[in-house]
Amino acid sequence: MSESIIKGVRAYINSCDALADFKVGKRFIDWTDDSDDNYGIMPDGEKAIRKFITGGGKFQYNFTLYIKRLSSSDAARLKNAELLERVQRWREENNRNKVFPQLPNGCTPTKITAENAMLIEQGGNKNTYQIQFTLIYTKG
């Protein structure tokens, strides 16, 4: 059990083997810094999908993973694109095995998606990539 959804999401993303090379001090919430090799989880909040008559309902929690990586060569950019694929495959495997973020009491995760993995900003020798996640869960 986690105290908050974002805390559970952070632990979940930090457990991804594809992101293991990122130093703990380079894993952020709500921002990324200008250095190479860091990532930030930007939460976009909770949205009700369906309310239950008995209370609670089905909800989604959206967040985006932004990754800043060195991109001085085509080989580095290829490696970065492969990183995005590895994160998505990790998420797919977790869905199959029902491995989800730990959520607060009363919340039960049922599915997590990872879409739109892409380059969103080129800048000098480093690029910013994103993967958009949606966590589906029931509450109450």
DSSP code string of 63-132: EEEEEEEE-SSHHHHHHHHHHHHHHHHHHHHHHHTT------TTEEEEEEEEEEEEEEEEETTEEEEEEE
- What is the rounded distance in angstroms from the CA atom of residue 3 to the CA atom of residue 17? 24
Contact present, 90 and 27 (Cβ < 8 Å): no
pLDDT at 1: 83
- Alpha-carbon Rg of the chain, whole angstroms? 16
pLDDT at 31: 94
pLDDT at 129: 96
Judged by DSSP in three states, 43 sits in: strand
- What is the rounded distance in angstroms from the CA atom of residue 137 to the CA atom of residue 113? 12
Nearest to 38 by CA among 9, 69, 8, 5: 69
pLDDT at 2: 86
* pTM of the predicted model over 0.95: no
Residues of the chain with pLDDT under 70: none
